[in-house]
Structure formats: C-alpha cells, structure tokens
C-alpha cells in the first residue's frame, strides 16, 4: 500500500543506510522487475555495476536513487506498487532463497518474496521483496531523466507549494469523480486509495462529486487537507495494514489514527451520529460520511 507517506518514510530510512555504497552485484529470479530503456536485466546489470549511490529521494510514489562514480550517471526508479518492500541488511543467498545473517531487524517471511537484489562492496545488500510482483526497478540515464515518460507525466507534489489555479484548470474539463482524480498521478502525485479517502473526509467533500463541479474554494480545501493528512501520516510512519514496512522493517501507525478509510458501518468520528458508508468508485473502495461530506452543486 505504499503511498506518499510510506515511500517518504522508506526513503528516510534508506538515506541513513545506503548512501555511498557501491554496487558490485545484481541478483534476480524474475527478470521482469528490471527495465532499462529497451533492454532488460542484462543491460540493467551492465550499466549499474561499479556505481555508487549518491542520492536518494522521493518523486510521487517513486523511490529515486541517483547512481554514479563521482557524478550522477543514471537514476534508479523503484515503484513498490501494492506489496513491494525494501529490505536492508546482511544476507546470503542459498538455493535461490535469501537467508538473514544480521538483518537490521527480523524480516520474517518477506524473504520468501525477494525477486531482486543489489549487493554492495561492504557485503550488505538491498533486497526487493514483492509478493505480487507488480513492482519495478527502472534505470534511466541521467541525460534522459527529465523527459522520461514516468517523470515527465508526474503531477505536482502535494507537500510542495501548489498552484491552485493550474489544478483548478485541469479539473475544469474532468467529468469523473474527484476521488478518481485524486488518484490520478498526472494531476497530483503520491496519493492512493487510503489517503484519497482521508483527504476528502478532512476537506468535507463527497468522493463522488464531479471534479468539474468543485469550486475554487473546494479545491483549495482539498489541497490544504492533503498537506495536513499526508504530513500527519509521515509523522506516524505511514499506514500498515498488511504488507507495508519501512526500510528498517517497522510498521507505521497511521491506520490506527485514520478518519474514514476502512471504517464502513462505524460511527463517523466527526459528527458521531452518521455511519461511514462505502461505495465503489472506478473499481476502488471509497469510504465517506454521508453527513459530513456533501456533494458539490
């Protein structure tokens, strides 16, 4: 479930552990995790060996790792999709399976789902565990980074100062539900199903409201709510329902502090006398209070 707060938390942990490490080996048992321009894992490996981790940051839901000798030569984009996890520690691979030697913390059965790994000169490794195998590691040459499809089409980061006029303009000709638009990474990047519901609850906007029906004030409220909700979630280390763990293997506690998500049938925490309802929007469960969240127009 890694959304912006989870990825931010992971990146924070990775910075503490991985900076200045040199990649000396690449391992995988599922070639499709690697992408490098037109090539696959062979080309990926060739380009990455010997490079050092110079910088780690978050762009939307991507972990972005700058690699080079002295200056950045390429960037590694990691998307965790639904069930991806990054494990850091000391391990050995035995019969195609990774075994813990001195992991930063116990990673229990997630070791079973490791499908790729970067091994560093100091003997430590970064493992990429992913039950559903939707996650990807995409290598992009530095010169092509800004115009790479995945990066070029990324919407604004909700934690950065946002130009409300430009967002309002984009929503003008969108007839779909605001909930669906919030999940569109090309409008605003980093929000997923959980925080989409949380943000709309906080803003008092019904998730089925058509984006084009929102007033300028509504949009301002939503963006303000987004900052608050996401910042709080980062403070709490993200949400852990099932799979999510940070780089140190720790869960986040936002889920226990959630406002509406997965609270169907329970009393609304704001008005207390309505019951949280659930509706499917574009195939995704959406939770809201029918009393506190009014539909626009």
Partner DNA sequence: TGCAGTGTTGCTTC
Partner DNA sequence: CGAAGCAACACTGC
- The set of catalytic residues is 2-3, 61, 284
State the nearest-atom distance from the C-beta of 145 to DNA, in Å. 15
| Binding segment toward DNA, per CB under 7 A, in 41-49, 74-82, 98-106, 229-237 | 74-82
| Binding segment toward DNA, per CB under 7 A, in 40-48, 50-58, 99-107, 191-199 | 191-199
199 binds DNA (CB under 7 A): no
* Nearest partner of 153 among 77, 44, 39, 56, judged by Cα: 77
152 binds DNA (CB under 7 A): no
Q: Which of 71, 102, 146, 173 binds DNA (CB under 7 A)?
A: 173
Q: Compare residues 32 and 99 and give the one whose CB is closer to DNA.
A: 32
Q: Which of 12, 15, 28, 81 binds DNA (CB under 7 A)?
A: 81
> What does the per-residue mask of binding to DNA show for 101-140, with x meaning CB under 7 A?
------------------------------xxxx------
- Render the chain in DSSP notation, one character per residue: ---HHHHHHHHHHHHHHHTTPBEEEEEES-GGGEEETTB-HHHHHHHHTT-EEEEEEEETTEEEEEEESSSEEEEEEEE-TTTEEEEEE-EEEETTEEEESS-SS--GGGGGGEEEEEEETTS-EEEEEETT---EEEEEEGGGTTTSHHHHT--B-TTS---HHHHHHHHHT--SBHHHHHT-TTTBSS--HHHHHHHHHHHTB-TTSBGGG--HHHHHHHHHHHHHHHHHHHHTT-B-SSS---TTSPPPBGGGG-SSTT-TTSBPTTTSSSB-EEEEETTEEEEE-TTTSBPP-
**Interface size with DNA, residues (CB under 7 A):** 35
- Cα angle 254, 259, 261; round to 5: 85
Q: Alpha-carbon distance 239 to 110, whole Å? A: 18
The answer to whether 21 touches 256, Cβ cutoff 8 Å, is no
Q: Compare residues 113 and 120 and give the one whose CB is closer to DNA.
A: 113
160 binds DNA (CB under 7 A): no
2 binds DNA (CB under 7 A): yes
Q: Compare residues 180 and 293 and give the one whose CB is closer to DNA.
A: 180
5 binds DNA (CB under 7 A): no
Residues 237-296 that bind DNA (CB under 7 A): 240-244, 280, 282-285
Q: Compare residues 51 and 135 and give the one whose CB is closer to DNA.
A: 135
174 binds DNA (CB under 7 A): yes
| Binding segment toward DNA, per CB under 7 A, in 48-56, 77-85, 155-163, 217-225 | 77-85
Instruction: Give contact residues for DNA (rule: CB under 7 A).
Output: 1-3, 32, 60-61, 79, 81-83, 131-134, 150, 173-176, 180, 183, 185, 192-194, 240-244, 280, 282-285
């Amino acid at each position: 479930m890694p959304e912006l707060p989870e990825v931010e938390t992971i990146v924070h942990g990775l910075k503490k552990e991985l900076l200045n490490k040199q990649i000396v080996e690449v391992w995988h048992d599922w070639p499709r995790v690697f992408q490098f321009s037109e090539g696959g894992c062979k080309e990926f490996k060739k380009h990455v060996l010997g490079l050092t981790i110079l910088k780690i940051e978050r762009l939307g839901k991507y972990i972005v790792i700058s690699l080079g000798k002295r200056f950045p030569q390429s960037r590694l984009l990691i998307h965790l999709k639904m069930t991806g996890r990054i494990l850091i520690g000391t391990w050995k691979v035995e019969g195609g399976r990774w075994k813990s030697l001195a992991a930063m913390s116990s990673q229990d059965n997630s070791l079973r789902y490791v499908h790729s790994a970067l091994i560093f000169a100091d003997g430590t490794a970064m493992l990429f565990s992913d039950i559903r195998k939707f996650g990807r590691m995409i290598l992009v040459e530095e010169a092509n980074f800004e115009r790479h499809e995945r990066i070029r089409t990324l919407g604004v980061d909700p934690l950065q100062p946002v130009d409300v006029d430009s967002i309002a303009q984009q929503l003008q000709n969108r007839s779909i539900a605001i909930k669906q638009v919030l999940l569109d990474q090309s409008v605003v990047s980093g929000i997923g199903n959980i925080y989409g519901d949380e943000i709309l609850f906080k803003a008092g906007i019904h998730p089925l409201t058509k984006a084009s029906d929102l007033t300028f004030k509504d949009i301002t409220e939503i963006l303000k709510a987004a900052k608050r909700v996401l910042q709080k979630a980062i403070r709490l280390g993200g949400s852990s329902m099932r799979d999510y763990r940070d780089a140190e293997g720790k869960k986040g506690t936002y889920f226990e502090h959630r406002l509406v998500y997965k609270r169907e049938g329970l009393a609304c925490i704001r008005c207390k006398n309505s019951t949280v309802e659930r509706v499917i929007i574009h195939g995704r469960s959406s939770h809201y209070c029918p009393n506190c969240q009014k539909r626009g127009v």
